[in-house]
Structure 1
Amino acid sequence: MSPRFVILFTLIATVLSACGDTAQLPISAGIGPDPQLPPPNPTLIPTVNIAKAVGWPKNASPFPAPGLSVNAFATHLDHPRWIYVLPNGDVLVAETNAPDQPVDGIKSWLVKLAMNKAGAGRPSANRITLLRDEDRDGVAETRTVFFEGLNSPFGMALIGNDFYVANTDALMKFHYNGGETRITQNGVKVLDLPGGPINHHWTKNVLASPDGSRLYVTVGSNSNIAENGLDQEVGRAAIWEVDPVQGSYRLYASGLRNPNGLAWEPDGRVLWTVVNERDLLGSDLVPDYLTSVPDSSFFGWPYSYFGQHVDERVEPQRPDLVASARVPDYGLGSHTASLGLVYARNSTWPSPFDNGVFIGQHGSWNRKPSSGYRVLFVPFRDGKPNGKPIDVLTDFVSKDGEAFGRPVGVVLDKQSALLVADDVGNIIWRVTPVRLQR
């Protein structure tokens, strides 16, 4: 980055940080099955409050909840976003970033500046790395490039010997033999995914159905509230159900602004997701959320949020669709950027961590004070969220507002430890109950 660019960026960031609004409610007000939804407070100049990415000081780490311990499973990665655990215990990490996007006007230019400050502005490594902990001491000793030459890869899924990767613009399939540390053959495209030059929400996740017959793929919107036109949103803001044999799909659920994490609740085999909601309605709106996703459900975007709360900025209005909008199950706080999701039912974890979901919150840019920047746990009972969330890992941001790290993907390894991708710290963290260490 040139000195002139740094000076310009600093001046713009200073001006913007003094503008916008400040939250009037605590972040907890936007959490739970019935979050508070105050009147919108859009401002002429948007709230921009970004934690500058600085990385972790030597020997530092996030702070675990009482009774939990954290250590670095792998370090010196290149923007690790998503994690997948193979049947033999090998851990795959998508080292990835947004594809190149054109600067189209002042708004997209400011977004690009913001992403640079947040540590997301460098080119994508476009690879998946394999990590192997051969002696099971909680630290990966072996590291190999599993795939390379991908296009902003994110989600991964294995069905038999078929390994699927969700690139930003296509769902790909590769042949995998158990125990392999590198795959060199060309993949086969299953189907195209919405991409294009804007590609606002570029991450695409993928999850196999319990019987392996279908794949579920998340596709975020191409805008905040369809301001680029609804013709740019075809197939977006949705979860696709894909037939991997036929290479066909249908919209399983829609009206989801930016779904990312996917998980199956084991009893009812109900699909759950976490969703990033819209921006620029003030620091107290709109809560991101965790929700079950019935077949053919609609969640309101762009016309409404959290059920039938109409977004007056969207034209033309669609009261018929708003009337059918499903209310999400559980608010996660406004602007938290909740991305990672894994269901945990494991007797080796102490209560309440033995039944519920872990969620990675990447952290806000459009809220003052900041929100997210943590890993939390939402307890479940009878297949539904039950009670307040519990902090699992915190202190990703310094007292001066600088980001040591930002959690993204979360997964349980073969020893039931929680792995957390930190794309600013370039680390995979490993969290265990103290009595389960190593």
Structure 2
Amino acid sequence: TILRDTNKDGKPDTKETFLTNGLNQPFGMLVIGKWFYVANTDALLRFPYEPGQMKITGKPEKIADLPAGKVNQHWTRNLIANADNSKIYVAVGCGTNIGEKGMEHEIMKASILEMNPDGSGIRIYASGLRNPVGMGWAPGTKTLWTAVNERDGLGDELVPDYLTSVKENGFYGWPYSYWGNHIDTRVKEMKPEMLDNVVVPDVDLGSHTASLGLAFYTGKAFPEKYRNGAFIAQHGSWNRKLLSGYKVVFVPFSNGKAAGPVEDFLTGFVEDPQKDEVYGRPTGIIMLPDGSLLLTDDKTNTIWRISASGA
């Protein structure tokens, strides 16, 4: 679906079905030149596209297979391109919690993949990221960051989801360890040699918060403190005694690095943290050209616009 605000009042006044053909659990979207890319759970597609086009009717071109298979618990596949559009990056979550159904089902999963815009040259850019979803480039740098959902089953306070810079060829521990060299003794097929150079994540986002969407703020509508920082949409916990997440948080940045504690930015989605009663589940977040934010909520199927007071 495509929504357009033609009179610039902050509300969509046109709504059209944009694309229906060739889709299989689609998630990530990307425009490069005259191509519109869609990441299905099992393939990366692209369609011929002209700026301003309201509906795509052409046939998809499958440019790359993506790892899915029958064991595909974390099905989302997010997309981002680098600054000159010469590379595409695909976030691929693991198929299970800790590889318990066999690592043969996790080939090229729990990774961020890199490829050329035509789908060639596909490779693992970084691995051991249990379920990376949101991605963004820290403003003023060439460093990719991602929001990652960590593992379940170790109690209410473990393991923290995190925001981290993505190091080329870096290994972040999954499934063998978490947050550096904290070994997960439940993993049956342990490979100690994989932990020799494990990367420790940058920012703790709280356990079971299901941190999904990521947007760096380069606008001017919000106060100066938000400039170049990261907003993260937290979908919320499902397996914790007291609910966690269900909000948007902010991480300040300075010189391309996280530079302060995580702050609550938008709350109020939880009616009672001791009960399974919530008003919404933040999912994706992006910045608009006017400096406001759009936040998707997949519990109420709502898109919220967040603007500065008076805007």
Aligned to 1:48: none
- Which protein, 1 or 2, shows the higher relative CO under an 8 Å CA cutoff with sep ≥ 6? 1
Aligned to 2:149: 276
Aligned to 1:410: 285
Aligned Cα root-mean-square deviation (Å) = 1.1
Instruction: Say yes or no: does 1:189 pair with 2:66.
Output: no
Aligned to 2:216: 343
How far, CA to CA, are the matches of 2:292 and 2:127 in structure 1? 33
The answer to whether the 8 A contact 2:85-2:117 is kept is no
Q: What is the CA distance between 1:380 and its match in structure 2?
A: 0.5
Q: What is the CA distance between 1:191 and its match in structure 2?
A: 0.5
* SS at structure 2 position matched to 1:231: helix
Given the alignment, which residue of 86, 91, 94 partners 1:218?
91
How far, CA to CA, are the matches of 1:319 and 1:194 in structure 2? 25
What CA deviation, in whole Å up to 9, does each residue of 1:8-49 have, x standing for no partner? xxxxxxxxxxxxxxxxxxxxxxxxxxxxxxxxxxxxxxxxxx
Per residue, is there more helix in 1 or in 2?
1
Deviates more, 1:145-154 or 1:328-337: 145-154
The answer to whether the 8 A contact 1:361-1:375 is kept is yes
What CA deviation, in whole Å up to 9, does each residue of 1:196-226 have, x standing for no partner? 2231110000101111011000110011000
* SS at structure 1 position matched to 2:44: strand
Alignment of 1:25-36 (within 5 A): none
Instruction: Say yes or no: does 1:321 pair with 2:194.
Output: yes
Instruction: Say yes or no: does 1:236 pair with 2:109.
Output: yes
Aligned to 2:242: 369
Aligned to 1:305: 178
How far, CA to CA, are the matches of 1:186 and 1:245 in structure 2? 16
How far, CA to CA, are the matches of 1:366 and 1:300 in structure 2? 22
* SS at structure 1 position matched to 2:269: coil
How far, CA to CA, are the matches of 2:8 and 2:240 in structure 1? 41
Given the alignment, which residue of 250, 256, 266 partners 2:129?
256
For structure 2, the residue ranges without an aligned partner over 5 or more in a row are none
Aligned to 2:3: 131
How far, CA to CA, are the matches of 1:234 and 1:242 in structure 2? 17
Q: What is the CA distance between 1:245 and its match in structure 2?
A: 2.4
What CA deviation, in whole Å up to 9, does each residue of 1:134-181 have, x standing for no partner? 111111010001101311110011111111110111000011111111
The answer to whether the 8 A contact 2:47-2:60 is kept is yes
For structure 1, the residue ranges without an aligned partner over 5 or more in a row are 1-128
Q: What is the CA distance between 1:246 and its match in structure 2?
A: 5.0
* SS at structure 2 position matched to 1:421: strand
Aligned length: 308
Aligned to 2:14: 142
Instruction: Say yes or no: does 1:160 pair with 2:39.
Output: no
Instruction: Say yes or no: does 1:356 pair with 2:229.
Output: yes
Question: How does the TM-score come out when normalised to structure 2?
Answer: 0.97
Aligned to 1:430: 305
Question: How does the TM-score come out when normalised to structure 1?
Answer: 0.69
* SS at structure 2 position matched to 1:146: coil
The answer to whether the 8 A contact 2:138-2:228 is kept is no
How far, CA to CA, are the matches of 2:137 and 2:231 in structure 1? 13
What CA deviation, in whole Å up to 9, does each residue of 1:42-76 have, x standing for no partner? xxxxxxxxxxxxxxxxxxxxxxxxxxxxxxxxxxx
The answer to whether the 8 A contact 1:310-1:322 is kept is no
How far, CA to CA, are the matches of 2:146 and 2:173 in structure 1? 15
How far, CA to CA, are the matches of 2:141 and 2:226 in structure 1? 19
The answer to whether the 8 A contact 1:348-1:354 is kept is no
Aligned to 1:204: 77
The answer to whether the 8 A contact 1:132-1:143 is kept is yes
How far, CA to CA, are the matches of 1:182 and 1:142 in structure 2? 13
How far, CA to CA, are the matches of 1:135 and 1:157 in structure 2? 25
Deviates more, 1:303-312 or 1:381-390: 381-390
Aligned to 1:118: none
